[in-house]
Structure 1
Amino acid sequence: MTKLDSANTEKALLFRELQTHLRDRWQNIDLSDQGDSDILIIPSVTLDQRELLKVEGVHNYEERHLFSLIRLRNPRTRLIYVTSEPLHPSIIDYYLQLLPGIPFSHARDRLLLFATYDASARPLTEKILERPRLIERIRQALRREKSYMVCYNCTPLERELSLQLGIPLLGSDPDLSYWGTKSGSRQIFAECNIPHPDGSELVWNVDDLALVTVQLWERQPDLQRIVIKLNDGFSGEGNALLDLQPLQKVENSDRVKAILNSFTALRFQSVDETWENFSKRIFELGAIAEAFIEGEVKRSPSVQARITPKGEVEIISTHDQILGGPDGQIFLGCRFPADETYRLNLQDLGIKIGKSLAEKGALDKFGVDFVAVERGTNESPKWDLFAIEINLRRGGTTHPFMTLKLLTNGSYDYDTGLFYSQQERAKFYKATDNLQKSRYRGLLPNDLMDIIALNRLHFDSGTETGTLFHMMGCLSQFGKLGLTSIGNSPEQAEEIYQTVINALDQETEGNNNSWGLPPTNPISWHGGI
């Protein structure tokens, strides 16, 4: 064993030792209104940076965890939030005014904000690790015996920061990240006997990818399309579609060559992707070929769950995802809950997958994406579910659900798959990170606050309905905004959502490029994460 290997092994052991403290602190973590905790939020999107460049305004995704500020309604909770650049004061005020019964000044005193003042296109955690004085200020602010750290996803960078601060990280050990890749997900689905599309083994070069693609086609001769996926891609941005129809008359002996030639004509889900770039990424990230699930009526539901420090698996929520892009594979938003005809089935499958992940040592939140294909009739719909991938991170469905939970202080009912507020009202929402129009560009956070107040778009704690906005810092440059519209029925949630869009459109009427800003597409097909 080399010195480097020995050092890495020692770090891994120290990290796991830190995480054992979570078992003792779990009650304080789980009971957010009663515990006495210091919560360090590191909202770093520590994913492949070249893939992230496809997502407009990705640095503003650090704002998605600001729903955590609602935890300050517990007068004993302290929260430390770190970002790349300072947050606009009006954004902080917007969240703190949501705390019923808590004086604004009391909540503000228990919130510490730090920034690296570094806007470079690199993970926030990497920037923090480069600043030992900042780390020391964070360390001094924490009551380490009552602290834990929360991240978007857990990589060696987040593990290193956890070790330097001496506080446990609520998340899976980075050594388990394989189980959140395309090939790792498929392995777990097979182990759990969960239906999933036929696909290939993981390969690392174009020639092998062509070979396994042909082998998949030979196993499934009726396939019309095959999806080529980067193993560590996310939100559909790393997917490309191969149309087999033009190749139907190719002799079997010539299929590998024909597939190789067809790769240059792949239909990419990201509008900016090219085969030249995509092929290079195969050598770095690996790739698989997977059967495309056909069907006239399809949906993309998902289930979210968590694995507690005690090893228990709990279902958090189910969603129907809203997808876009050329072939409907780009994540744009979601509706809660998933359709009643399959949401309980989603829960059962989520428990199976969660138990497998728990046995492997995974921790905290994960999500599983599915494709649902309608096989029945309109009068008696029946849906077949196919598992697509596991996300070992706090993905695009995490923050809207946590927003609902913290705003209403309610709970999820496993028997019905519904969420009930403390007023015993069933709650529903529609959420997105990708409300984006060129006419919204140039709006400052204060402008948005004016629009919210004038049109009464805020969340009403009395009726427990309305909209909570996020990613407000993304609005001025990219015309992009996130929101969660909550109602007492699916129809009301949709109506509230549309009311927001109508109000924004009316308030920005005639604003298309009126500031001399470069033109953009009216709606972007860049997905969320």
Structure 2
Amino acid sequence: MLDGDESRSMTSDEFQQLQSRLPSLWHSFDAQIDSDCDILVIPSLSLDRGELLKVEGCIHYEERLLFSLMRLSNPRTRVIYVTSVPLAPIAIDYYLQLLPGIPFSHARERLLLFSTDDYSLQALSQKILDRPRLLDRIRQSLRPDRSVMMCYNSTAIERDLALKLDIPLYALDPDLLYWGTKAGSRQIFAECGLPHPDGSELVYSDLDLAQVTADLWARQPHLKRLVVKLNEGFSGEGNAILDLRPLGDPSSHSERIQAICQAFPQMSFQGHRETWTNFQGKIGHLGAIVEAFIEGEGKQSPSVQGCITPMGTVEILSTHDQILGGCDGQIFLGCQFPAAAGYRLQLQELGLEIGKNLASKGAIERFAVDFIAVPNNEGKWDLQAIEINLRKGGTTHPFMMLKFLTNGDYQMDDGLFYSQQRTPKYYVASDNLHRPEYRGLLPNDLMDIIAHHRLHFDTSTETGTVFHLLGCLSEFGKVGLTSIGNSMAEAQAIYNKVEEVLDLETQIVNTRSLLPISWKCR
């Protein structure tokens, strides 16, 4: 019998052998016109369950990868999309009707949908592994020599699933996951010589966390606030802000540690309904770091997105300014494309440096790097690297929809995206257009509203709004959208119009629901 280390080694070796097929498949998979492959999309959010609970409607975030359906614009591409719960037929129809130059019926025949019918928070990939008959049906639907598996994020579960299906996984090797954690990000920033906030090493207890926090405070006595981060938090949900100002000026290091321990329960937690007791318990198995909080008037939160091909080539895909919320501006709500002109070219350069470092470690597929940008006295921007994400994040869906809808390309010389007509395109996007009043709106109702008010994406002008996360709407009153324009002002105006219309329509419906029956029947 093999021990655990030997078993993991064999699994890793088998996975590397499986991954060796990727380079030969790449040209077909990535082709703009002549792609001839089967793309298995597993949008599993294989993340900490406790952290997922902070995201309302998280099971519907499996819809984020529905941009993959746009690959059906290649007439020989097949897409196999698996979800925890069945997708609403209208959501599928909505995406297929957006396909440029392909008959709806032709695309629909090349799309296969599978579901586990399981609403639990267990990772979708594990749900599939636990259902051998479903696993077998998925396997039989694939052409083994022309199939690639895509996912939201890659863990050992996705690796096991790829091995069971005997198809390569176009995603990060799970053995490299450390480089996408908070501690791993800081290590890469140091290796690349990138400016990043002063911070601590990774610790696994609240007492050790108090110690490294006190050490940081001693090094930087001018600091007003610190950020405590769970090592594997996402979208800012694993962050907490420690305000040092109420703690005064402790006279000794031990008093500083004691004051910090007493202040931990009063931290400003960014996650939905998060508490110190819950956060403290996660430190033990996820680990945590502490960093200096970057202050500054007019600061922005830009990011750069890149891709590492199976051949090790690094490409920059886009830059964004993130739209952040929460009480201390730590929660990702949406993004604007492109990032501001004052720093987007610098973001590209820094992204390339990090991408090359990741490629040297064996990473492939998407990566994104978040920064804080603060204006300085010289009229320029100081950039501080914050974290690396090795998964398809909130900026993936809107950019890929823009790319597939316009068949355009991103230009490194100015950091803009141009349609085939060479028109620069801009967008404002969010996963979190969220109102209690939207609850009860069905996807069909949304389609009625956007058709009546002509809010949908217009292929003739290549402007308008594309919606996603339709499954979140009725229960949670939340929907995602990407509003595309020919300028940032136009994109923002289109987004604002959608918000105004939905607010007005739900006000009208709610007002009607309060009217007497006799009045409603007139």
Q: TM-score, normalised by structure 2?
A: 0.96
Cα displacement string for residues 443-481 of structure 1 (whole angstroms, at most 9, x for unaligned residues):
111111111111111111111111110000110000000
- Does 2:470 match 1:469? no
Paired residue for 1:264?
265
| Deviation of the 1:35 alpha carbon | 1.1
Structure 1 contact 88–473 (Cα < 8 Å) conserved: yes
Paired residue for 1:520?
none
Structure 1 contact 300–369 (Cα < 8 Å) conserved: yes
The DSSP-based 3-state class of the residue aligned with 2:140 is helix
CA distance in 2, matches of 1:418, 1:477: 37
Mean Cα displacement is larger for which, 252-261 or 505-514?
Answer: 505-514
| Deviation of the 1:136 alpha carbon | 0.6
Paired residue for 1:524?
none
| Deviation of the 1:382 alpha carbon | 1.1
The DSSP-based 3-state class of the residue aligned with 1:311 is coil
The one of the two structures with greater contact order (alpha-carbon pairs below 8 A, sep at least 6) is: 1
Structure 2 contact 303–321 (Cα < 8 Å) conserved: yes
Q: Give structure 2 stretches of 5+ with no counterpart.
A: 515-522
- Does 2:401 match 1:403? yes
The DSSP-based 3-state class of the residue aligned with 2:65 is helix
Structure 2 contact 100–405 (Cα < 8 Å) conserved: no
Specify whether residues 512 and 236 from structure 1 end up closer, same or farther in structure 2 by C-alpha distance, changes over 3 A only.
farther
CA distance in 2, matches of 1:29, 1:118: 30
Structure 2 contact 437–507 (Cα < 8 Å) conserved: yes
CA distance in 1, matches of 2:252, 2:28: 62
The DSSP-based 3-state class of the residue aligned with 1:508 is helix
Paired residue for 1:357?
358
Paired residue for 1:129?
129
Paired residue for 1:95?
95
For these two proteins, the number of residue pairs brought into alignment is 513
Paired residue for 2:345?
344
CA distance in 2, matches of 1:375, 1:420: 31
- Does 2:277 match 1:276? yes
Cα displacement string for residues 4-52 of structure 1 (whole angstroms, at most 9, x for unaligned residues):
2212111111111111111011111221322101000000111111111
Paired residue for 1:485?
483
| Deviation of the 1:214 alpha carbon | 0.5
Paired residue for 1:453?
451
Alignment of 1:140-289 (within 5 A): 140-253=140-253, 254-289=255-290
| Deviation of the 1:513 alpha carbon | 10
CA distance in 2, matches of 1:137, 1:113: 11
CA distance in 1, matches of 2:512, 2:125: 38
CA distance in 2, matches of 1:2, 1:114: 35
Q: Give structure 1 stretches of 5+ with no counterpart.
A: 517-529
Paired residue for 1:525?
none
Structure 2 contact 55–272 (Cα < 8 Å) conserved: no
CA distance in 2, matches of 1:513, 1:246: 47
Give the superposed CA RMSD.
Answer: 1.3
Amino acid of the residue matched to residue 336 of structure 1? Answer: F
Specify whether residues 271 and 134 from structure 1 end up closer, same or farther in structure 2 by C-alpha distance, changes over 3 A only.
closer
CA distance in 2, matches of 1:433, 1:333: 6
| Deviation of the 1:111 alpha carbon | 0.3
| Deviation of the 1:3 alpha carbon | 2.3
| Deviation of the 1:105 alpha carbon | 1.2
Paired residue for 1:439?
437
Paired residue for 2:517?
none
Which of 410, 423, 426 is residue 424 of structure 2 equivalent to?
426
The DSSP-based 3-state class of the residue aligned with 2:229 is strand
CA distance in 2, matches of 1:285, 1:515: 47
Mean Cα displacement is larger for which, 16-25 or 37-46?
Answer: 16-25
Specify whether residues 133 and 446 from structure 1 end up closer, same or farther in structure 2 by C-alpha distance, changes over 3 A only.
same
The DSSP-based 3-state class of the residue aligned with 2:249 is coil
Amino acid of the residue matched to residue 107 of structure 1? Answer: A
Paired residue for 1:311?
312
CA distance in 2, matches of 1:231, 1:245: 25
| Deviation of the 1:376 alpha carbon | 3.4
Amino acid of the residue matched to residue 219 of structure 1? Answer: R
Structure 2 contact 371–383 (Cα < 8 Å) conserved: yes
Paired residue for 1:56?
56
CA distance in 1, matches of 2:513, 2:84: 27
CA distance in 1, matches of 2:460, 2:428: 20
Specify whether residues 296 and 117 from structure 1 end up closer, same or farther in structure 2 by C-alpha distance, changes over 3 A only.
same
| Deviation of the 1:272 alpha carbon | 0.5
Amino acid of the residue matched to residue 412 of structure 1? Answer: Y
CA distance in 1, matches of 2:196, 2:76: 46
| Deviation of the 1:512 alpha carbon | 5.5
Q: TM-score, normalised by structure 1?
A: 0.95
Runs of 4+ in 1 over 4 A off after TM superposition: 510-516
Structure 2 contact 96–104 (Cα < 8 Å) conserved: yes
Amino acid of the residue matched to residue 448 of structure 1? Answer: L
CA distance in 1, matches of 2:483, 2:34: 27
| Deviation of the 1:249 alpha carbon | 2.5
Paired residue for 2:386?
388
CA distance in 2, matches of 1:475, 1:268: 26
Paired residue for 1:527?
none
The DSSP-based 3-state class of the residue aligned with 2:20 is helix
Amino acid of the residue matched to residue 487 of structure 1? Answer: G
| Deviation of the 1:196 alpha carbon | 0.1
